[in-house]
């Protein structure tokens, strides 16, 4: 093989190797920032069709309605714990920070963070709906009730009314 062909072959090999290395680093970076969306029912039962459930330690986004009576706040810090549900079992969300102004019981939210235990999410971000008719599209699709509110049994107050 003459030296000119050898140089071209070496250059082409280096170029292909460089492009492959860049593509693999790019895919790795995108994969590590990927947050899959789940509903509370899908965490317990798995995705419909595949049965895939999130693993402990996996970062996920979860959407649903805040279960009335489930919000517990720590009086000494910004820590809050609450449950969200769609049409099935509830999932516990733990969050340390300022909740959105629109956050309240019975309203739709989306939380993002790692699953630290089965059906327990340590949220790094909590997003609330922006108006009375809004529900996150993923939640609405998963629940099959595009613009309907879920109704929960209100907890009974003992000892009279307010």
- The predicted-structure confidence for 60-103, as pLDDT tens digits, reads as follows 999 889 999 999 999 999 999 999 998 889 999 999 999 988 88
Residues 19-42 pLDDT 10s: 999 999 988 877 666 668 888 888
In a domain, 100, yes or no: yes
Average pLDDT of span 5-16: 92
Judge whether 123 lies within some domain.
Answer: yes
Q: How high is the mean pLDDT of the chain?
A: 81
**CA atoms of 30 and 131, how far apart (whole Å):** 32
Q: Which domain holds residue 96?
A: 35-128
What's the confidence (pLDDT) of residue 49?
82
Known binding residue 147? Answer is no
Give a yes or no: residue 160 inside a domain. Answer: no
Count the domains in the chain: 1
Burial track 51-71 (b if 16+ CB lie within 10 A, e otherwise): eeebeeeebbbbbbbbbbebb
Residue 132: predicted pLDDT? 53
Position 150 pLDDT exceeds 50: no
Is 134 annotated as a binding-site member? Answer: yes
| Contact (Cβ atoms closer than 8 angstroms) between residue 107 and residue 65 | yes
pLDDT for position 47: 83
Q: Give the domain CATH number at 105.
A: 2.40.50.140
């Amino acid at each position: 093989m003459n030296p000119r062909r050898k140089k071209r072959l070496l250059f082409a090999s280096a170029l292909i190797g460089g492009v492959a290395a860049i593509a693999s680093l790019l895919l790795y970076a995108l994969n590590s920032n990927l947050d899959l969306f789940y509903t509370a029912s899908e965490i317990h039962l798995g995705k419909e069709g595949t049965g895939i459930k999130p693993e402990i330690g996996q970062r996920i986004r979860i959407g649903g309605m805040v279960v009335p009576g489930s919000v517990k706040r720590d009086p000494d810090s910004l820590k809050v714990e609450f449950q969200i549900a769609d049409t099935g079992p509830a999932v516990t969300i733990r969050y340390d920070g300022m909740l959105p102004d629109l956050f309240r019981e019975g309203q739709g939210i989306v939380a993002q963070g790692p699953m630290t235990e089965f059906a327990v999410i340590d949220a790094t971000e909590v997003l609330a709906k922006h108006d009375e008719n809004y529900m996150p599209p993923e939640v609405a699709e998963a629940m099959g009730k595009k613009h309907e509110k879920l109704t929960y049994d209100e907890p009974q107050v003992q000892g009279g009314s307010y």
